[in-house]
Amino acid sequence: MSLEMVSFLWNEEKSNGDNRKHFGQIAQDAETVISELVVTDADGYKAINYIELIPFLVRGMQEQQQLIEQLQTELESLKN
């Protein structure tokens, strides 16, 4: 919940001619939550390994689904 989504354009040095708007999280913020997902290159630039983020997202969805099912069960019991 602490990772905010941001939009950004790559700076000229890192863009390789890519001038499209991109979306993601700020690596320094992600580093405080899941430091293993953040890599730092030789120039000191930080980046998030989004592929490795996927299992965390899936687990979060699973936990939400469990909560939804629990709340549905509780709601059904209140109706009866």
Q: Pick the residue with more confidence: 12 or 58? A: 58
C-alpha torsion sign, points 3, 8, 10, 12: negative
Q: Indicate if 37 and 6 belong to the same structural domain.
A: yes
Q: 60-78 pLDDT, tens per residue?
A: 999 999 999 999 999 999 9
Task: Count Cβ atoms below 10 Å from residue 21 Cβ, excluding itself.
Answer: 8
Give the pLDDT band of residue 2 (cuts 50, 70, 90): confident
Q: Indicate if 40 and 71 belong to the same structural domain.
A: no
Q: Indicate if 44 and 55 belong to the same structural domain.
A: no
- Global pTM? 0.70
Which range marks the domain in which residue 77 is found? 50-80
Q: 17-44 pLDDT, tens per residue?
A: 888 999 999 999 999 999 999 999 998 9
End-to-end, the C-alpha distance of the chain in Å comes to: 35
Calpha distance 13→35 (Å, rounded): 25
